Amino acid sequence: MGYVTASATDHKQPRAGIAFILKKALISAFVALVLFSLMIGIRTEAGPTGQLIYWTRFGELATLVAIVFVGSIAIELVRQWLGPAGASQLVPAPVQNGLAAAGRYVAPALLIFTLLVPVIFYRQRYILDLGILVLTYVMLGWGLNVVVGLAGLLDLGYVAFYAVGAYSYALFATTFGLSFWICLPIAGILASLWGVMLGFPVLRLRGDYLAIVTLAFGEIIRLVIVNWQSLTGGPNGISSIPRPTLFGIPLTPGPNGLAAKLGIAFDPTHRLVFLFYVILAMALLTNWVTIRLRRLPIGRAWEALREDEVACRALGINTTTTKLTAFATGALFGGFAGAFFATRQGFISPESFTFQESALVLAIVVLGGMGSQLGVALAALAMIGGFELFRGLEQYRMLVFGIAMVLLMIWRPRGLIGHRAPTVYLKQAQAISSDLVKEGHG
């Protein structure tokens, strides 16, 4: 076996030499030429008579092939310059622990900055809106983190709970006229009931199968929302959902509004600031509950389940309740976030609850390092901020998102913050690289 591995590594040694690089780049360019020949080289569109017509785009095709050729050479040069793969990943332990120490100050600094955002950027509605959006995803990420990061159950249908929360609030508010603060817990509880309903059947499933079933579940919820027109309004969605109030005082320009009561001039920004602090409080609640739960037996059981389900069972942990509570807790926060989303938008439709949304939240959790609260927050900031950068290139956004997801997985499959801080330790807590953690098939 030793001989085999040795020869395998010899084989993978980078072979310097311009001929090798050129040959590789030529092959890549040829592959790109074939791949793009019809898809890029020829553009089809329905003509004025409904008949399909086509025109050629050989210029674009040539450009793309040239980009692949040059890019392939560049990648090969960078790879040779970096040396054999694997060497760069061995970060010495003191550096890692130093980073972990620095990380202790990042979180409070970030929190203080977030608290001050509405003060600093009071006049910039765009930044406030973006901040609310980022915080919504931070909350969703923290909620999903309970299921995926802590309990190790891969959930591709998280958006279903988000949808349940949003529709519960929208329906209760528009039909019965209940206020946001009464509907919020109802939405959360309903979502977590759905979480348990999903959890029961999938108890015996593992890994990829679990992922597909949760994906199917998410799609079923969306399809039911689309088709149950009498209740949900179908593809048209529900509009004129009431805005949240400050304990019954609406944030409107009228005489009953908050501005009039406080005796200050009305400003639509007040509501944005209010929404900002509401979602911040909700996200922090999620974070706080998660951190506290991790210290309880149930949280320890989640992490044990993630690492090894069989060992978990052998130690007498009830995996049924462990999995169900994970699903229910995750879904609860998803439902809260959904209710907030509905009240912020004032309008919801099934289009907001597609699989892409689930994938985005999952990407945030994975990018954040699966289980790291700070990592998830930073990842949400990076992802949503990155999305905003591509706002002008609307149709390229998902393409770039997909490419980023693939590259990220290849570059850092364990996420940005790839270390595990143990919750239980002997004498001294020492963060270890998560590359060393073997994950079971939860």
Residues forming the site for other proteins (CB under 8 A): 4, 31, 34-35, 37-40, 42-46, 50-52, 54, 154, 156, 201-202, 204-205, 207-209, 211-213, 215-217, 219-220, 223-224, 227, 310-311, 355-356, 359, 362-363, 366, 370, 395-396, 398-399, 401-406, 408-410, 413-414, 439, 441
Whose Cβ is closer to other proteins: residue 39's or residue 424's?
39
Q: How far is the CB of 56 from other proteins (least distance, A)?
A: 9
Q: How far is the CB of 37 from other proteins (least distance, A)?
A: 7
Whose Cβ is closer to other proteins: residue 77's or residue 223's?
223
Residue 378, helix vs strand vs coil: helix
Whose Cβ is closer to other proteins: residue 41's or residue 250's?
41
Q: How far is the CB of 86 from other proteins (least distance, A)?
A: 12
Q: How far is the CB of 360 from other proteins (least distance, A)?
A: 10
Q: How far is the CB of 57 from other proteins (least distance, A)?
A: 9
Whose Cβ is closer to other proteins: residue 297's or residue 413's?
413
Whose Cβ is closer to other proteins: residue 60's or residue 267's?
60
Structure tokens at 423: 């919750």
**174 to 177, 230, 246, 385: CA distances (angstroms):** 5, 14, 18, 33
Q: How far is the CB of 234 from other proteins (least distance, A)?
A: 10
Whose Cβ is closer to other proteins: residue 154's or residue 170's?
154
Which of 217, 177, 216 minimizes the C-alpha distance to 195? 217
The Cβ of residue 281 has, within 10 Å, a number of other Cβ atoms equal to: 11
Which of 375, 376, 383 minimizes the C-alpha distance to 357? 383
Whose Cβ is closer to other proteins: residue 284's or residue 404's?
404
Q: How far is the CB of 132 from other proteins (least distance, A)?
A: 25
Amino acid at 320: T
Q: Are 374 and 380 in contact (CB under 8 A)?
A: no
Q: Within 13 Å of residue 382, how many CA atoms lie on the same side as its CB?
A: 18
Whose Cβ is closer to other proteins: residue 395's or residue 428's?
395
Q: How far is the CB of 66 from other proteins (least distance, A)?
A: 17
The Cβ of residue 16 has, within 10 Å, a number of other Cβ atoms equal to: 8
Per 3-state DSSP, what percentage of the chain is helix, strand, and coil (rounded to 5)?
Answer: 70, 5, 25
Q: Are 129 and 147 in contact (CB under 8 A)?
A: no
Ramachandran class of 79: left when φ > 0, alpha when ψ lies in -120 to 50, beta otherwise: alpha
Ramachandran class of 415: left when φ > 0, alpha when ψ lies in -120 to 50, beta otherwise: left
**How many degrees, rounded to 5, is the angle at CA 358 between CA 218 and CA 333?**
85
